[in-house]
A and B are shown apart, each in its own frame.
Chain A
Amino acid sequence: MLNFTIRRLLLAIPTLLFISLVIFLLLEASPGDPLGDVPLTVPPEVKEKMREALGLGQAWYIRYVLWLKQFFWVEPLHWFDQIFGTDFSQGAQRIISFQSRSPVFDVIAQRVPQTLTVVGMSYVVGVMIAIPIGIISAYRQYSWFDQIGTFVSMIGFSMPTFFTGVVMIIVFGVKLQWFPSVYDTTLVVRDWDSFLAQARQMVMPVTVLALYNAAQVSRFMRASMLDNLGQDYVRTARAKGLSERAVVLKHVLRNSLIPVITVIALGLPTVFGGALITEQVFKINGIGQLLITAIYANDLPMVLTVTFLFAILIVMFTLIADILYGILDPRIRYD
């Protein structure tokens, strides 16, 4: 297991390097100009200076290696300094956003909490809804509960989140006025009232994303339960005279959760992709919204860094899913 983990971690390095190179070259091929918004009255010499200041003067491979150095060396050093009060990163250039001229990671750190509260919450809620539904659907296969569950989950992942989000805004935000339709990110939870306000504004985005996640996870849960319910050990457990409750919730559920947990782990990074749209619908200024504005503004370092962070998440969670599978199911051996 340890060997496998180490081997996979080592293999992740070239994968990530390759991905960063692909993203970098894609951006490099772009016809867009980060100085496109600079007024035409600015003389060309000054423009050239501005270009130099943005670090655009050098060849692409130099800039790529520089970015790699900043990402993997300067930034971690900077965090180390911040925690322990040392000054190793003195004088080293951090990754700077073209738009705000502030370090990219500071901007990301401002945006992460919003994304995590909404997306994280919705994933937890989605999984908590999905697992009981999956269990009951499988236990009473072809019953009306199963039929309705199947239909609802089919609808759940057929409806794009931008449509469900907009419909919820129209119904609950505008017509019924139950929840605010725009997410207020300046809200600070200080007392009971602000906590209620925060909860109220989170209801709609969380519901939209949770519905989408629950639809997928409940299908997997149902299929996995069905696989296990037909196994011999279930018949043995029943023959021993165990209560139905113990058979289903102890024997079958535990075994069925193994593949589902890996599916949940694999799905986590893709949730950030889905959040991109939900954040746009509810005007949450999280990571997804940051990426979209950066793309519009030709903010190359920001786009590169955020996209690369997504790639790291995907690679990491794929690894976590594989390791979890090996830990939870002792029959699986990676050698």
Chain B
Amino acid sequence: MTDRERQRALDVAEQVAETAGPAPVTGELPPDDPVTAGGESRSQWRDVWRQFRNHTGAMVALLLFVGVLLFVSVGPYLWTLDPTYVDIRARNSGFSLAHPLGTDQLGRDMLARLMAGGRVSIAVGLTAMIIAITLGSFIGVMAGYFRRLDAPLMRMTELFLALPLLPLLLLMVTLFREPLSQNFGPAMGIFILIVSAIGATSWMQAARIVRGDVLGLKEREFILAAKSIGTPPRRMILRHILPNVMSPIMVAATLGIATAIITESALSFLGLGFPPDFPTWGRLLFDAVDQMVLYPSRVILPGIFISLTVLCVNYIGDGLRDAMDPRIRGR
């Protein structure tokens, strides 16, 4: 039995149990359920994980990504130099024991700056992705589930897709930089601005995918069954629709992190990202471009970190997509 079918069987069983007799505790299956009665229990996510482990590229990428995450999160506790500490006498030094990755033009330690920069870059990527995915799934589910909302919401999505995104992002960042940094402080203001700007301009793909899946789901029997017992729309969406469109959302989310990190570093590279004393990988690269002839390592290191992180995230997304697609399962 494929995964989708089993999921459907579970849902129907749940519905049957709900309609007949006293309602069981939610989430528990009736005791005579054929799936759990015999042998080991296999949840959907454990299946996905088993499939995911077979994808060598994705597993290597996952390990590397965890490594990068540890580097930026635990790293600063092990390497305690302050990334903003200016030691002008040690400026432009090469690789040494005191500064393993050298220092920049103001004598700030590159290793510490890379860690601090990575924190911001990854935080931007994750937050922007969460905003984009929440917005996208919400709009996608609304458009797919409520027929009346479909046309206007999809029109809006098409409108957003027709916007020239990078120029608009540049505009938004330059225009609202001042007021936001006055209200929330320079670093936090720019963070809010960049994250919401990226989130607001990258939800469209997720919305389209989710809408398509919801439209397909609506024709299935378990939805009909749930509807026939009078489940209100809110519970229908939260309990029956959303869990079943989780896999495309997860894939879109993973790929969303990658695009958000690239967009943030592109903005920083154009000089429109975070303020100069606030390192991010894109900003470090941008700052080093002026002296790249003399100190190429300062350009290459942050660039490698950006590329490596994005590459890992893309590979993980690829692996997830393969693991969650029941058509490729078991091959």
- Enumerate chain B residues within 8 angstroms of A311, measured Cβ to Cβ: 162-164
A26-B168 in contact (CB<8A): yes
Chain A interface size band reads: 35 or more
User: Cβ of B66 < 8 Å from any Cβ of A?
Assistant: no
B262 within 8 A of A: yes
- Which of A15, A155, A169, A303 interacts with B307 by CB under 8 Å? A155
Which of B30-38, B95-103, B132-140, B310-318 binds A? B310-318
B67 at the interface (CB under 8 A from A): no
**Contact B171 A26, beta carbon cutoff 8 Å:** yes
Q: Which A-chain residue is minimally distant from B311 (CB atoms)?
A: A158
Counting CB contacts under 8 A, is A189 at the interface? no
Known: A19-B159, A166-B303. A306 touches B167 (CB 8 A): yes
Interchain CB contact under 8 A, B163 and A19:
yes
B161 to chain A, nearest CB (A): 8
By a CB distance below 8 angstroms, the chain A residues around B270 are 276-277, 280, 292
Q: Does the CB pair A276–B166 fall under 8 Å?
A: yes
Determine if A170 and B296 form an interchain contact, defined as CB atoms under 8 angstroms apart.
yes
- Check: B325 CB closer than 8 A to any chain A CB: no
Taken together as a complex, chains A and B put the C-alpha atoms of A296 and B172 apart, in Å, by 12
* Whole-angstrom CA separation of A19 from B159 in the bound complex: 8
Q: Mark A145-175, 1 if CB is under 8 A from B, else 0.
A: 0000001001101111011001101100010
- Given A26-B168, A311-B164, A166 and B174 contact (CB-CB distance below 8 Å): no
B289 interface residue per 8 A CB criterion: yes
B164 x A32 contact (CB < 8 A): no
Q: Are A310 and B285 in contact (CB under 8 A)?
A: no
Determine if B292 and A170 form an interchain contact, defined as CB atoms under 8 angstroms apart: yes
- Contact of A18 with B by CB under 8 A: yes
Whether the pair B292, A23 counts as a contact (CB closer than 8 A) is no
Residues of A near B175 (CB, < 8 A) are: 26-27, 29-32
Q: Is A318 an interface residue (CB 8 A)?
A: yes
Query: Does A246 interact with chain B (Cβ within 8 Å)?
Result: no
Asked whether, in the complex, the Cβ of B174 is within 8 Å of the Cβ of A32, the reply is yes
Known: A155-B307, A163-B285, A314-B162. A303 touches B292 (CB 8 A): no
Most chain B CB inside 10 Å of its own CB: which residue of A22, A273, A277: A273
Most central of B57, B172, B174 by chain A CB within 10 Å? B174
Contact of B167 among A31, A151, A158, A307 (CB under 8 A): A307
Interface check B306, CB cutoff 8 A:
yes
B158-182 residues with Cβ-Cβ distance < 8 A to A are: 158-159, 161-168, 170-172, 174-176, 178-179
Establish whether residues B170 and A158, one from each chain, have CB atoms under 8 Å apart when the complex forms: no
Which residues of A sit under 8 angstroms from B258, Cβ to Cβ? Answer: 158
Residue of A nearest to B313 (CB): A158
B111 CB-CB contact with A under 8 Å: no
Given A31-B175, A315-B162: A310 in contact with B266 (beta carbons within 8 A):
no
Query: What are some 5 contacts across the A-B interface (CB < 8 A)?
Result: A15-B159, A19-B159, A167-B303, A306-B167, A315-B162
Q: Which chain B residues have a beta carbon within 8 Å of chain A's beta carbons?
A: 57, 158-159, 161-168, 170-172, 174-176, 178-179, 258, 262, 265-266, 269-270, 285, 289, 292-293, 296, 299-300, 303, 306-307, 310-311, 314-315, 318
